[in-house]
């Protein structure tokens, strides 16, 4: 039995991953098969909830090898084995969802699916890269051996079905810890995040060393204490000893599609669609320009504007060093109006030559420096009247302050799905 939920959280408080811990309590008589899955979907969808993540668990009768994947008063193991179905599963799960999700809040539209079969992988691919219509999700659900219910405008069903369809070919893990209920909404006390970041070789996005900012604890009043991300479950479990501050009520280790770049599709400068994320190649055709508010923009192939917005902090200083002629590969989400690429990652493929003017052109006859006729109007020799063009000026090459290679936005501005360079360069 596969159980998926989405869109139960809100800016004010609840978190879909916490609801899974409550669902595991409810289905105590069944075993958890494989890790619970936290699946992030298209971050550019305009009506997303915070983080746009859905959660899936498989329940059944465990028979074989087991792994420790959580703690909630007692250890939670995940098993291999066979799946079983429970007839009243939808009703039982719905009670839990209704109790804990913020259904009263506008913009929270929970979806809950219990299924005996896995939806086709395409349902995931479409939802992570593009915008899925609710009617397409409903028609897919109608064809499946499943039961479902959607609250509010039912949009949560889209994410729930898509998450269920995910196949974790590339994947990472996130250990999420939860606070004692009496502390929800109060300031979180956390120590040891820097130490955790330094001591765990295969974790990522925990701490922004330049901004001196932690990136594991949410800023919302939700039940999450912190979430640490990485390649290896064992390393992440180390956080339980390294990160201190307040006692943990429960924890759960999720398998996720975070940090995989699975939201990115190959595209071309002239073909990008709003609300998608793309990887494109192009040449810089304007000098980067900073506007009030600190956002930096430049043009690519005279056709698409690329942006490093203020929250990308020091990444903007790198972007400002670009000049026309630089060849780039860009990764990022497409904003609709005006059509702009919000850069997540950049590869400087080839730097163009940067020249500065040293002197006006020299007259070939008199060997004297010519004078400017006017702005962009060329030059003339005062003595003999010989003319020269703007591009005849004498220049010299200056060293670029930028190197070829990869650059990424800092940890504090990173999207869940973005593959950090730490992972890109591993391959």
- Selected from 24, 54, 308, 363, the binder of Zn ion by CB under 5 A is 363
State yes or no: residue 99 binds Zn ion (CB under 5 A): no
d(CA 394, CA 372): 13
Strand residue runs (E) in 101-158: 111-115, 146-150
Q: Which stretch binds Zn ion (CB under 5 A): 21-29, 49-57, 62-70, 358-366?
A: 358-366
Structure token digits, residue 235? 């390393």
Q: Which residue has the tokens 């020249």?
A: 355
d(CA 348, CA 404): 5
Taking the complex as a whole, the smallest distance from the CB of residue 373 to Zn ion amounts, in Å, to 14
Q: Which is nearer to Zn ion, 384 or 425 (CB)?
A: 384
Quote the radius of gyration of the chain (alpha carbons, Å).
27
DSSP code for 419: P
Taking the complex as a whole, the smallest distance from the CB of residue 364 to Zn ion amounts, in Å, to 8
Taking the complex as a whole, the smallest distance from the CB of residue 351 to Zn ion amounts, in Å, to 37
Burial of 211 (0-12, 13-18, 19+ CB in 10 A): middle
Q: Which is nearer to Zn ion, 125 or 362 (CB)?
A: 362
Q: Which stretch binds Zn ion (CB under 5 A): 39-47, 238-246, 280-288, 384-392?
A: 384-392
Q: Which residues on adjacent β-strands are paired with residue 42?
A: none
Q: Which is nearer to Zn ion, 63 or 384 (CB)?
A: 384
State yes or no: residue 268 binds Zn ion (CB under 5 A): no
Q: Which stretch binds Zn ion (CB under 5 A): 99-107, 109-117, 309-317, 379-387?
A: 379-387
- Selected from 366, 373, 398, 426, the binder of Zn ion by CB under 5 A is 366
State yes or no: residue 381 binds Zn ion (CB under 5 A): yes
How does strand 53-71 pair with strand 248-256?
Answer: antiparallel
d(CA 179, CA 224): 6
d(CA 194, CA 73): 28
Q: Which is nearer to Zn ion, 116 or 371 (CB)?
A: 371
Q: Are the beta carbons of 84 and 30 closer than 8 angstroms?
A: yes
Q: Which is nearer to Zn ion, 322 or 381 (CB)?
A: 381
Q: Which stretch binds Zn ion (CB under 5 A): 54-62, 184-192, 288-296, 383-391?
A: 383-391
State yes or no: residue 384 binds Zn ion (CB under 5 A): yes
Q: Which stretch binds Zn ion (CB under 5 A): 90-98, 176-184, 294-302, 355-363?
A: 355-363
Q: Which is nearer to Zn ion, 279 or 368 (CB)?
A: 368
Taking the complex as a whole, the smallest distance from the CB of residue 393 to Zn ion amounts, in Å, to 16
- Selected from 82, 91, 201, 365, the binder of Zn ion by CB under 5 A is 365
Q: Are the beta carbons of 244 and 177 closer than 8 angstroms?
A: no
End-to-end CA distance of the chain: 35
Q: Which is nearer to Zn ion, 292 or 385 (CB)?
A: 385
d(CA 157, CA 201): 37
State yes or no: residue 370 binds Zn ion (CB under 5 A): no
- Selected from 133, 143, 268, 383, the binder of Zn ion by CB under 5 A is 383
Burial of 161 (0-12, 13-18, 19+ CB in 10 A): buried
Q: Which stretch binds Zn ion (CB under 5 A): 113-121, 194-202, 296-304, 377-385?
A: 377-385
Q: Which is nearer to Zn ion, 271 or 394 (CB)?
A: 394
Burial of 86 (0-12, 13-18, 19+ CB in 10 A): middle
Taking the complex as a whole, the smallest distance from the CB of residue 288 to Zn ion amounts, in Å, to 39
Cβ count within 10 A of residue 237: 16
Q: Which stretch binds Zn ion (CB under 5 A): 197-205, 299-307, 376-384, 401-409?
A: 376-384
Distances 39 to 5, 125, 144, 258, 308 between C-alpha atoms, Å: 10, 11, 20, 7, 26
The contact set with Zn ion (CB under 5 A) reads 363, 365-366, 381, 383-384, 386
């Amino acid at each position: 039995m596969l159980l998926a939920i989405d869109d139960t959280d809100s800016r004010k408080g609840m978190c879909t991953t916490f609801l899974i811990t409550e669902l595991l309590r409810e289905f105590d008589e069944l075993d958890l098969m494989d890790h619970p899955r936290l699946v992030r979907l298209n971050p550019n969808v305009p009506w997303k909830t915070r983080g746009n993540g859905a959660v899936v668990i498989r329940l059944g009768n465990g028979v074989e090898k087991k792994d420790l994947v959580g703690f909630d008063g007692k250890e939670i193991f995940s098993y291999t084995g066979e799946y079983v179905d429970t007839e009243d599963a939808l009703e039982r799960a719905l009670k839990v969802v209704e109790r804990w999700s913020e259904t009263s809040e506008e913009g929270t539209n929970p979806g809950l699916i219990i299924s005996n079969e896995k939806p086709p992988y395409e349902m995931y691919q479409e939802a992570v890269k593009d915008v899925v219509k609710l009617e397409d999700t409903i028609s897919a659900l109608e064809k499946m051996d499943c039961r479902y219910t959607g609250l509010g405008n039912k949009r949560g069903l889209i994410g729930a079905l898509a998450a269920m369809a995910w196949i974790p070919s590339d994947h990472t893990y996130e250990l999420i810890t939860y606070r004692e209920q009496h502390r929800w909404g109060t300031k979180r006390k956390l120590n040891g995040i820097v130490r955790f970041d330094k001591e765990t070789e295969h974790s990522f996005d925990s701490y922004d060393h330049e901004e001196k900012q932690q990136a594991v604890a949410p800023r919302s009043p939700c039940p999450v204490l912190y979430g640490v991300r990485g390649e290896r479950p064992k390393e992440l479990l180390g956080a339980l000893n390294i990160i201190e501050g307040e006692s943990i009520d429960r924890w759960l280790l999720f398998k996720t599609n975070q940090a995989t770049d699975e939201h990115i599709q190959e595209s071309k400068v002239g073909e990008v669609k709003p609300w998608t994320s793309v990887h494109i190649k192009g040449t810089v055709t304007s000098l980067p320009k900073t506007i009030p508010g600190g956002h930096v923009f430049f043009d690519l192939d005279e056709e698409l504007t690329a942006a490093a917005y203020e929250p990308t902090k020091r990444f903007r200083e790198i972007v400002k060093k670009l000049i026309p002629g630089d060849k780039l590969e860009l990764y990022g989400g497409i904003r609709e109006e005006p059509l702009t690429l919000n850069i997540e990652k950049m590869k400087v493929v080839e730097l163009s030559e940067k020249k500065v003017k040293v002197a006006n052109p020299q007259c070939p006859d008199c060997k004297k420096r010519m004078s400017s006729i006017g702005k962009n109007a060329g030059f003339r020799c005062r003595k003999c009247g010989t003319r020269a063009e703007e591009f005849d000026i004498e220049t010299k090459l200056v060293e670029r302050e930028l190197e070829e290679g990869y650059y990424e936005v800092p940890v504090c501005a990173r999207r869940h799905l973005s593959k950090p360079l730490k992972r890109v360069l591993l391959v």
